[in-house]
């Protein structure tokens, strides 16, 4: 049963967080409008598309993205204010233990964690789909597949290769298609370029050369143009990594399975997105534990010292997230470990700080 102190802490925690969130989002929208004013004047998007399709989903996305940081700041501000007024000391002197004092904080953290999980898994994919579609139509430059030497296994033993690919023109250059059986190459098609026809669903292969190997020996033939149907579309060759944010859980699982079958080298990013939707909301507990443990002590310098130390820890957390993300995408670190490792490490730091907190 919630007591008066519990209701007070929960109300102040959630109220401070919502106030900071609304303030930061208002500032973010104003800055974004000032940056994109010239773009809005040139584009033919309606006012409804700008307000509803873009900015409403813009607020949903960035509110979720910065929620962990804002929760931490809310905990620091509110708890530091209590500590500077010696209210924490008064509560502890009245016989309330420090773990009991933290209980309403973790009730609030649970509410925010459940909300973040629901938003991440059910609300945000749809919001991102609409926002990214608006950006693709009116703001962003045409997408280009980064890098070269793109391999895709489009069927068992069938491997497509592009030296480079232009997504805007739907054209791949230095294209080849290999058919393997029992570890032996049976045929290979090579061409200068292959262009996808979105109407017919076929690839127009220009200046091709084909070698086939069979019991009768090797045969070759060539020509200026050949049309072929492949289980491959330009979106399979490459797409913006951000598109993973617009997929539902089922769509993301299906896409990951398809990319794994093709032997894609970008699968780690999508696994990070999948696991992060669950791992990152639980950082709320870590931030709450650290925030209360730091701000619950009255120190000379007051709230400023607490904020400075808190911001330092947040920067270290963000650095750890980036470090593990790079490890997963470039160094072979398991994406599941990559998304949970910062929570585990800083959870341990939080427990250590909690043990040093005034009891």
pLDDT digits (tens, 9 = 90+) for 136-184: 777 765 555 554 567 777 777 788 878 777 766 778 788 888 888 877 7
Of 95-109, 276-290, 333-347, the poorest mean pLDDT is in 95-109
Residues ≥6 apart with Cβ < 8 Å to 307: 73, 76, 77, 80
Of 119-123, 167-171, 237-241, 347-351, the poorest mean pLDDT is in 237-241
**What's residue 19's pLDDT?**
93
Confidence bin at 55 (pLDDT 50/70/90): very high
DSSP 54-108: IIIHHHHHHHHHTHHHHHHHHHHHHHHHHHHTTHHHHHHHTT--HHHHHHHHHHH
Q: Of the ranges 60-69, 155-164, 249-258, which is most confident?
A: 60-69
Closest CA to 127 of 34, 64, 70, 66: 64
CA distance 74 to 16: 6
Local structure of 220: helix, strand or coil: strand
**What's residue 143's pLDDT?**
52
Angle between helices 303-330 and 283-295 (to 10 degrees): 150
**What's residue 141's pLDDT?**
56
Q: Which residue has the higher pLDDT, 113 or 76?
A: 113
Closest CA to 11 of 119, 116, 105, 90: 105
Residues of the chain with pLDDT > 90: what percent? 24
CA distance 114 to 119: 9
**What's residue 311's pLDDT?**
76
CB under 8 A, 24+ apart: contacts of 1-10: 2/104, 2/107, 5/91, 5/96, 5/104, 6/103, 6/104, 6/107, 7/104, 9/104, 9/105, 9/108, 10/104, 10/107, 10/108
Q: Which residues pair with 261 in a beta bridge?
A: none
Residues ≥6 apart with Cβ < 8 Å to 101: 88, 91, 92, 292, 296
Confidence bin at 201 (pLDDT 50/70/90): confident
Whole-model pTM? Answer: 0.73
Question: Please, what sign has the CA dihedral across residues 15, 17, 20, 23?
Answer: negative
Of 123-132, 200-209, 331-340, the poorest mean pLDDT is in 200-209
């Amino acid at each position: 049963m919630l007591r008066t102190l519990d209701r007070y802490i929960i109300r102040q925690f959630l109220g401070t967080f919502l106030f900071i969130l609304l303030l930061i989002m208002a500032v973010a929208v104003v800055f974004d409008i000032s940056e994109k004013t010239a773009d809005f004047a040139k584009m033919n998007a309606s006012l409804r598309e700008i307000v509803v399709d873009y900015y409403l989903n813009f607020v949903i996305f960035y509110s979720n993205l910065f929620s962990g940081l804002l929760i931490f700041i809310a905990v620091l501000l509110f708890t530091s204010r209590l500590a500077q007024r010696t209210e924490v000391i008064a509560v502890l002197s009245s016989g309330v233990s420090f773990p009991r004092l933290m209980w309403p904080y973790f009730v609030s953290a649970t509410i925010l964690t459940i909300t973040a999980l629901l938003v991440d898994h059910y609300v945000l994919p749809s919001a991102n789909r609409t926002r990214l579609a608006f950006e693709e139509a009116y703001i962003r430059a045409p997408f280009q597949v980064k890098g070269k030497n793109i391999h895709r296994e489009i069927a068992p033993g069938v491997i497509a290769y592009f030296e480079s690919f232009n997504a805007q023109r739907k054209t791949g250059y230095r294209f080849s298609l290999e058919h393997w059986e029992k570890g032996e190459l049976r045929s290979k098609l090579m061409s200068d370029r292959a262009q996808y026809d979105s109407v017919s669903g076929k690839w127009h292969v220009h200046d091709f050369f084909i070698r086939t190997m069979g019991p009768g020996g090797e045969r070759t033939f060539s020509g200026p143009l050949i049309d072929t149907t492949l289980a491959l579309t330009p979106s399979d060759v490459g797409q913006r990594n951000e598109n993973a944010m617009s997929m539902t859980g089922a769509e993301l699982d299906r896409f990951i399975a398809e990319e794994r079958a093709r032997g894609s080298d970008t699968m780690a990013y999508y696994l990070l997105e999948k696991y992060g939707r669950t791992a990152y909301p639980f950082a709320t507990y870590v931030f709450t534990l650290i925030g209360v443990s730091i701000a619950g002590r009255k120190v000379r310098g007051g709230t400023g010292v607490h904020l400075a130390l808190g911001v330092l820890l947040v920067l270290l957390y963000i650095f750890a997230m980036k470090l593990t993300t790079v490890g997963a995408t470039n160094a072979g670190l398991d994406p599941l470990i990559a998304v949970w490792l910062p929570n585990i490490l800083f959870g341990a730091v939080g427990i250590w700080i909690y043990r040093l907190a005034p009891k």
